[in-house]
Chains A and B, each alone.
Chain A
């Protein structure tokens, strides 16, 4: 397994509150890696460290074998993109203007809008299906549309690695699936390496090619979701008694929580 992005011996902390100690992870190259775990297990913190928006108090984050904090900001931004949990769209900004801002690491004071910029922004909007919204103000869009616009901005950055911090939060179920399918397309068709933090175990097991399960700032298990997601692991990580069945659509593991005593209504057949 080759890896372009990872962390070695990281201690991650906010002010004095330590979230993870001696954490080592590697993101397999060209994978769709999904990080899961219960609330406050450190999964978003890990993602922020990999995206260099949080500096480890010990240990190093490595990008292509180099300490990410010794690299120039712009240089990192041409390789590694991030879709944070919360972003602010300035009042009245149009979709095209917002997506265009993703070109910043490729621009300069005298290279403000090249034909390449124009092409990449148009492609990014097409890939996320927001081309027809180009002239609309972002604050008028629905949650699902808005999330696709932010993803388009991250795509315009043209990075081979893209980190997404809970990209499906606040979206209804159809838009969640839409965003995850979009991620899968970016991974399969464009060969990008994706790392996403997700809450939903079913989504993680279905879309990830590599799963990292965390608890209390430690990696409990990692690998192919078909091998990693077991009833024992879910119980260990989430404290949730469950059965694992096969997803009838994809054959990936589907986590079915155990019913409370007295609620069972006969055996369920998986086929």
Chain B
């Protein structure tokens, strides 16, 4: 390197920021673009989702109904059937993706996701217990949430009390997943045939028939946790540099870890309670967001937006791909997510990264 030459000032700013007085907010062009595109796609896909179905509506009809000018029938169809499903899809996608982005960053492993760590399986166990006992939908959601949280608590007790360490958490999570998969299989064999069929549909992840009873609690959870996560996001990007470096930079590492692990578990369990264990969104959305923004770090906001759009698109595809037959959304996310992951591995193999 030519260190003998005097160091010239960099030609352009090292980072872009909006500054008002002493306040400043940093931004990146690509991240802002990703956010805007995600918002635009949400609107377009949302109108399409509301407009389609057994009672088709034009874009104009949809917009008129949404702004309060619909007929009684339209108001019912949009307000009670299609809008809650749309909102649930967005909420589930956002919650899963945010949970996955947090966990991937926390365990410093691209495979860190609530599916791998067993939180999703724990939610399934809770739901299956209710199915076997013959409980209703509301009870099932509650049990799924509790099951996910209990698994999170177990992970923390076994792997996290002395500071949540990446590898230990992943290994304990894989073990937990294996045990719970076994338990879930056993529970399924115990359920009466009709209930077992219902349980399998739930286990695939589906948004069919979701109403405000699922959407509102999930939105509440997101509204509660988003400020917590946003407040610790910068600390999380430093924890990625290693615990000692983060501590040296003034991050209370252990506190931030526990707070974020708790938030990630809550988000994944909340999503599972609303739609069942929808696969691959938590794993794929953060990857996709990072590739789109090309920004280092956890990319939490971009991942959240990507996840919401991804799930909305998947649900739209699930409803429309096969004429007169609805697929569970989990099938579509599994297909998309699995294909993307295989492609990603192949691409990285070519780049000699793994």
Contacts and interface: CB of A to CB of B under 8 A. Distances in A.
Contacts of A134: 10, 14
Interface in A33-79: 48, 51-53, 73-78
A260 B9 CA distance: 54
A51 B26 CA distance: 29
Report which residue of A48, A76, A84, A86 has the largest number of chain B beta carbons within 10 angstroms of its beta carbon.
A84
B248 A81 contact: yes
Interface stretch (A118-126, A194-202, A203-211, A241-249): A118-126
A88 B9 contact: no
B250 A52 contact: no
A122 B249 contact: no
A257 to B, nearest CB: 33
Contacts of B249: 77, 101-102, 104-105, 157
A114 B22 contact: yes
B247 A97 contact: no
B73 interface: no
Size band of the interface chain B makes with A: 35 or more
B1 interface: yes
A208 B131 CA distance: 71
Interface in A98-134: 98, 100-102, 104-105, 107, 109-115, 117-118, 121-122, 125-126, 129, 131-134
A269 interface: no
A77 B241 CA distance: 15
Interface in B296-342: 296-297
B67 interface: no
A53 B13 contact: no
Contacts of B14: 96, 100, 118, 121-122, 134
B7 A113 contact: no
Nearest to B245: A87
B1 A52 contact: no
Contacts of A82: 244-245, 247-248
Contacts of B24: 110-114
A91 B251 CA distance: 21
Interface stretch (B84-92, B116-124, B144-152, B230-238): B230-238
A118 B13 CA distance: 7
Contacts of B234: 104, 107, 109, 112
B242 interface: yes
Contacts of B241: 87-90, 98, 101
A133 B13 CA distance: 14
A147 interface: no
Contacts of B248: 51, 53, 77, 80-82, 84, 154, 157
B296 A91 contact: yes
Report which residue of B16, B245, B248, B250 has the largest number of chain A beta carbons within 10 angstroms of its beta carbon.
B248
Nearest to A112: B26
Given A74-B250, A77-B248, A109-B231, A92 B9 contact: no
Given A110-B23, A110-B25, A126 B247 contact: no
Interface residues of A, number: 54
Contacts of B237: 90, 101
Contacts of B26: 112-113
Interface in B220-257: 230-231, 234-235, 237-238, 240-245, 247-252
B299 to A, nearest CB: 11
A85 B245 CA distance: 10
A31 interface: no
B17 A113 contact: yes
Report which residue of B22, B234, B241 has the largest number of chain A beta carbons within 10 angstroms of its beta carbon.
B241
B165 interface: no
Nearest to A107: B234
B161 to A, nearest CB: 13
Contacts of A75: 250
Contacts of A118: 13-15
A146 to B, nearest CB: 13
A145 interface: yes
Given A78-B250, A113-B24, A92 B244 contact: no
Contacts of B2: 132
B294 interface: yes
A77 B246 CA distance: 10
A39 B9 CA distance: 43
Interface of A: 48, 51-53, 73-78, 80-82, 84-94, 96-98, 100-102, 104-105, 107, 109-115, 117-118, 121-122, 125-126, 129, 131-134, 145, 154, 157
12 contacts: A87-B244, A92-B296, A93-B296, A96-B10, A97-B296, A98-B241, A104-B235, A113-B26, A114-B17, A114-B19, A118-B15, A131-B8
Interface of B: 1-3, 7-10, 13-17, 19, 22-26, 108, 230-231, 234-235, 237-238, 240-245, 247-252, 294, 296-297
Given A48-B244, A77-B250, A90-B240, 7 more contacts: A51-B247, A53-B244, A88-B108, A113-B16, A117-B15, A118-B13, A132-B7
